Amino acid sequence: MTDVAKALKPQESVIIAPLNEGTKYVANNFILFRISSAQLNMWIVNDSYITFDIKYTRQAAILNDNAGAACAMNKTYIRNIANVFKSVEVIYAGNTIYSQPYVVEQNNEIMYRMGDSYLRSHPATFTTRDTIINGTPYLEFDNGNAANGNNTIATNTATIKNVMLPVNQILPMFMDITSVGFPMRSLSSQLEIRLYINEPYRYLVDWRAEIKDFDYRCYINSDDATEKAKYLTSSMSTRYPNDKVEFSNVKMYCANYIADEPTAAQIDAKCGVNGSGEQIYRWYQIQTAIREVAANNLQTVNNLPFSITTNNEKSFLFYCYRTGYSPSLLYRPALNNVYIQFGSNQIPFQPINGSSLTNPYEYKFTVDDVLDNIDTYFTETNGDYNDSYRFIAANTARANIKVPTSSFIIMGANFSSDPSTTGIASSAWNSQYQATFNALTPDVGNNPALTFILSCRTEMGLVVKNGEIHTVNI
């Protein structure tokens, strides 16, 4: 619809409250929005966002040893505000037209595609290492203070006001909507958006000042070698139970304009309201496959099968996180050679000589390609992701690594070098992938339970026709 001129009328912001307003918005409940052409005419999705407050009551927590001095605990953060939702559904005329059951995994890829300047300029949406180091984080949870000679941290209540979630981030089905807007005016039924709230441990991550990175424990923030090694034994779900993190003042701010008559007629014709036209918007669906490996069960040779069906696959990413923690806190395991096999093919297409993920830069090069970093030599990329590839000696105890690793992606590859070309269907190899890798066993100093993710990016179409909307495989 880029050939349709937007009417020269000012945009307006339409504030939409949840249909289930009054519900207690805590983990495992959902927020329901319902939108119709009576509310929005031309919805400018890229300028629309959801805002809400987060009130939390952190429970009393226990240190593994008495504090030797009065010290503050390191704080806990949300890396991406979209992670507070575990799944999303969009329903039109009773039919589910969009569903994403792995929101955190989806938003890992979305966030790593963004440069530091953009992330830092949106503190109510993102938290990066730089924002914490520079003292400017916003999505911050206070873990209290340790008193001299005491090992108990008292409970604490606080509220984070006006966090912001761009609509096109939580709903990538609208990623191709330009400033012309999405033609709500051409639809005959309402859109229903359901946002299912995540459990806090799935989106909260601790910070460790000593290594300047996100971590799996909450340590004392101190320069003293003895004190900074002390940590809370209370798990994230104990500190922040499901019913103690609550959202309120939830609103969706929708940018909108009313098309004048000539423009409206042109839009309706393109959307087939009174004819045979149809409007197709392209978008990327992230499809996720998961395999778990129990603690102390990484072998010298590992073969993890993944079953996933795609019709127009553009790329994949392969990474892992520690089971029982947030999927937004990635883990860098002690691996050597890695490849993904599909049918009779494999990536890398030939073994990397002397390959070792202690020096993972050859693997990073293909991940860069997936994240669109290859052709942007002079633009800024994601610093958290880049810094996670620093050298680590093969015999380093994983429990004592002092470099950032929280954004480490093991491997990735594009199936198409041209975004305009069609990808490939996984049916060519019976929808089966095999991730094969050699591990250093035992994983020196630490061999936790791990959850491995195969994240496939496939192109879809959002079709508006005859006053209806549906999705198709392109």
Q: Are both 210 and 352 inside the same structural domain?
A: no
Whether residue 20 is found in the same domain as residue 160: yes
Top mean pLDDT of 190-199, 263-272, 409-418 is at 190-199
Whether 92 and 121 share a structural domain: yes
Give yes or no: residues 34 and 180 share one domain: yes
| Residue 120 φ then ψ, to 5° | -65, -30
How many residues are there in the chain? 474
Residue 104 shares a structural domain with residue 250: yes
Token pair 């929280």: residue: 406
Overall domain count for the chain: 2
Please write the tens of the pLDDT for every residue from 356-366: 788 888 889 88
We report the CATH number of the domain holding residue 334 as 2.70.9
Residue 266 counted as domain residue: no
Domain carrying residue 187: 12-261
What is the CATH number for 250?
2.70.9.10
Residues 6+ apart with CB under 8 A from 58: 141, 142, 143, 144, 155, 156, 157, 239, 240, 244
Looking at residues 281-305, what average pLDDT do you find?
A: 89
Name the domain boundary from 201, 229, 261: 261
| 317 within some domain | yes
Distance CA 12, CA 254 (A): 8
Does 418 score more than 80 pLDDT?
Answer: no
Predicted pLDDT of residue 164: 97
Mean of pLDDT over the chain: 88
- 267 part of a folded domain: no
Residue 473 domain-assigned (yes or no):
no
Mention every residue, 6+ apart, whose C-beta is less than 8 A from residue 410: 318, 319, 320, 333, 335, 338, 357, 360, 363, 437
Judgement on whether residues 124 and 244 belong to the same structural domain of the protein: yes
- pLDDT band, residue 385 (cuts 50/70/90): very high
> Per DSSP, what are the bridge partners of residue 54?
160, 247
The torsion angle over the Cα atoms of residues 358, 361, 362 and 365, rounded to 10 degrees, is 150
Cα dist from 357 to 17, 337, 429, whole Å:
48, 7, 28
Mean pLDDT of 104-119: 93
List the one residue out of 470, 469, 471 whose CA is nearest residue 185: 469
Confidence category of residue 420, pLDDT binned at 50, 70, 90: low
pLDDT of residue 378: 59
293 with 191, same domain?
Answer: no
Overall pTM surpassing 0.75 (yes/no): yes
Q: Has residue 430 been placed in a domain?
A: yes
For residues 227 and 376, state if they share a domain.
Answer: no
Q: Are 257 and 283 within one domain?
A: no
Residue with tokens 């880049």: 386
Question: Among 8-12, 42-46, 186-190, 400-404, where is mean pLDDT lowest?
Answer: 8-12
Write down the pLDDT at residue 1. Answer: 44
pLDDT class for 2, splitting at 50, 70, 90?
Answer: very low
Which of 229, 261, 293 terminates a domain? The answer is: 261
4 within a domain of the structure (yes/no): no
Determine the pLDDT at residue 275.
Answer: 65
pLDDT band at 446, cuts 50/70/90? low
Same domain, yes or no, for 121 and 255?
yes
Number of C-beta neighbours around residue 394 at 10 A: 13
Give the domain-ending residue among 231, 261, 291.
261
What band does 100 get if pLDDT is binned at 50, 70 and 90?
A: very high
pLDDT confidence of residue 429: 72
Residue 5 lies in a domain: no
- The answer on pLDDT for 54 being more than 90 is yes
Question: Whose CA is closest to 364, among 394, 342, 380, 388?
Answer: 388
**DSSP 8-state assignment for residue 73:** B
Q: 292 near 452, Cβ under 8 Å?
A: yes
Under DSSP, the state recorded for 182 is B
Measured CA angle at 433 (ends 429, 437), to 5 deg: 140
Token look-up 């966002």 returns: 49
Q: In the prediction, which pLDDT does 19 show?
A: 96
Lowest mean pLDDT across 44-53, 253-262, 321-330, 403-412: 253-262
Asked whether the beta carbons of 299 and 441 are under 8 A apart, the reply is yes
Which pLDDT band holds residue 398 (cuts at 50, 70, 90)?
Answer: confident
Task: Please give the structure tokens belonging to residue 266.
Answer: 């042109």
Q: Are residues 97 and 174 in the same domain?
A: yes
Q: Is residue 84 pLDDT above 90, yes or no?
A: yes
CA-CA distance, 470 to 172, in Å (whole number)? 15
Encode pLDDT of 130-166 as tens digits: 999 999 999 999 999 988 888 999 999 999 999 999 9
Whether 320 and 390 share a structural domain: yes
- Give the residue-averaged pLDDT of 9-26: 90
The verdict on residue 273 lying in a domain is no
> Is residue 387 very low, low, confident or very high in pLDDT (cuts 50, 70, 90)?
very high
Q: Number of H helices and number of E strands within the chain?
A: 8, 25
